């Protein structure tokens, strides 16, 4: 359906403060049956060359409150600074397009579902019974025709906008407008690339996770890790790669493989499996801002450990779900110098404070009660058990029994 531009409100002539000075702009307001748009332009729109054009969807969080979690504020600033410096350009602003066309109320609901319920993009929009992108660009075409613009230089990485304008009969050349990745906006922009096919130049979490996961398929005891600065290119490979050597010390192996100097940008660690809680502090010590795992749900102890270490733990199952079950060592708790992890019918115990005393005592106790454990194996700094009863209950018992009740370690 083709929209016809209604009689606009305006023009209003205002000096706007961008690029360190005041630039005269002309402002218009259009109302397409409640779908409101503003047109803001400076310079001659009809000098025979493509008009620099930015199509901007309203974002209360990014434009007004200056959220660091999206790139909306950055893109608006860059476009308007460009127009002011060059003395020519056109901004079309969708006043009612917050949350990709769903509105401000939906935008708040989306944040609540993501942050409080941990829902992924697809689950959020299923809950809202709405498409991931509900925006219509018919008003854009109508406004451009009203202003007599038929050739544009589109400041955007949104392929859909480019395609729409071309199909509507406009001559379009696209100029990328891309915010630098940082720890705050990284996941949002990668979601846009994966879900909306934005032409971002950087790789997404999925691009880095996929080869790691493929390399461990069919090997449940094998774990791998990459250290990466996103944007450095998958062809160049990761900054460092490591594989578990069977001693459950992947974080240490990655630390040993790290280069002495790191390029600028946020360092991200990609893992094939869930880390131990103590490993998150190791990754933080390497300078990692983000640790990404290919799972949809993260155990709460891992989330707490990540917060304490100052790293962001990101779940990224999405298109990276393993084709079959991949059992994980999940934290079962910590107490009195021990941390316990459970996977299927087995329990692992590791020192929670780096001291072997509690581990020695636990090993002695388990070996002295063979009726409760089919197997007790020591692997240097950790113990693996196969209890006769429920492994979760066995882990809880090992952690909650008073230290005084544990058999004492043999005297030196």
Q: Which two tokens stand for residue 326?
A: 């991949």
**Which one of 54, 100, 135, 346 is the catalytic residue?**
135
pLDDT for position 112: 86
133 is catalytic: yes
10 or 404, higher pLDDT: 10
**Which one of 133, 273, 278, 315 is the catalytic residue?**
133
Q: Which residue from 307, 271, 308, 312 is spatially nearest to 288, judged by alpha carbons?
A: 312
Spatial contact of 313 and 294, defined as CB atoms under 8 Å apart: no
pLDDT tens figures, 307-321: 999 999 999 998 899
pLDDT tens figures, 374-405: 899 999 889 999 999 899 999 998 888 754 44
SS3 percent helix, strand, coil of the chain, rounded to 5, is: 35, 25, 40
At 2, the pLDDT band (50, 70, 90 cuts) reads: low
At 335, the pLDDT band (50, 70, 90 cuts) reads: confident
Separation between Cα atoms, residue 322 and residue 326, nearest integer Å: 7
Query: Mean pLDDT, to the nearest integer, of 173-196?
Result: 91
At 231, the pLDDT band (50, 70, 90 cuts) reads: confident
Q: Which two tokens stand for residue 381?
A: 């700094």
Query: Mean pLDDT, to the nearest integer, of 237-261?
Result: 93
106 or 271, higher pLDDT: 271
Q: Is the pTM of this model over 0.85?
A: yes
pLDDT for position 1: 53
pLDDT tens figures, 147-173: 999 999 999 999 999 999 999 999 999
Between CA 176 and CA 87, with CA 172 as vertex, the angle to 5 degrees is 70
Query: Mean pLDDT, to the nearest integer, of 273-280?
Result: 96
């Amino acid at each position: 359906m083709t929209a016809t531009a209604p009689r606009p409100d305006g023009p209003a002539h205002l000096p706007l403060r961008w690029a360190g000075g005041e630039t005269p702009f002309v402002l218009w307001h259009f109302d397409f049956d409640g779908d409101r748009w503003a047109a803001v332009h400076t310079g001659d729109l009809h000098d025979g060359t493509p008009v620099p054009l930015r199509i901007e969807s309203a974002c209360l969080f990014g434009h007004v409150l200056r959220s660091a979690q999206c790139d909306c504020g950055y893109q608006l600033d860059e476009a308007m600074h460009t127009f002011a410096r060059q003395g020519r350009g056109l901004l079309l602003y969708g006043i009612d397009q917050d949350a990709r066309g769903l509105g401000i109320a939906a935008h708040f609901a989306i944040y609540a579902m993501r942050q409080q319920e941990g829902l992924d993009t697809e689950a959020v929009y299923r809950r809202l019974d709405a498409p991931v992108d509900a925006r219509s660009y018919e008003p854009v075409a109508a406004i451009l025709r009203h202003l007599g613009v038929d050739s544009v230089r589109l400041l955007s990485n949104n392929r859909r906008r480019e395609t729409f304008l071309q199909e509507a009969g406009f001559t379009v050349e696209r100029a990328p407008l891309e915010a630098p990745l940082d720890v705050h906006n990284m996941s949002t922009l990668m979601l846009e690339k994966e879900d909306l096919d934005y032409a971002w130049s950087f790789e997404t979490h999925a691009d880095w996770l996929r080869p790691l996961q493929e390399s461990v398929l069919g090997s449940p005891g094998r774990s791998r890790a990459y250290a990466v600065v996103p944007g450095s290119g998958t062809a160049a490979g990761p900054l460092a790669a490591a594989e578990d050597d069977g001693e459950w010390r992947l974080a240490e192996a990655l630390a040993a493989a790290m280069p002495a100097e790191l390029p600028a940008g946020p360092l991200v660690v990609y893992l094939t499996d869930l880390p131990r809680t103590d490993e998150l502090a190791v990754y933080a010590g390497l300078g990692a801002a983000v640790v990404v795992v290919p799972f949809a749900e993260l155990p709460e102890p891992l989330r707490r450990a990540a917060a304490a270490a100052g790293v962001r733990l990101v779940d990224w199952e999405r298109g990276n779900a393993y084709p079959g079950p991949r059992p994980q060592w999940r934290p079962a708790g910590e107490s009195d110098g021990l941390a316990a992890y459970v996977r299927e019918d087995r329990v692992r115990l590791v020192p929670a404070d780096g001291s072997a005393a509690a581990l020695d005592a636990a090993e002695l106790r388990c070996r002295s009660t063979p009726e409760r454990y089919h197997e007790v194996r020591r692997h240097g700094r950790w113990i693996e058990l196969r209890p006769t009863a429920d492994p979760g209950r066995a882990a809880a018992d090992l952690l909650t029994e008073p230290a005084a009740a544990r058999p004492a370690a043999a005297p030196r």
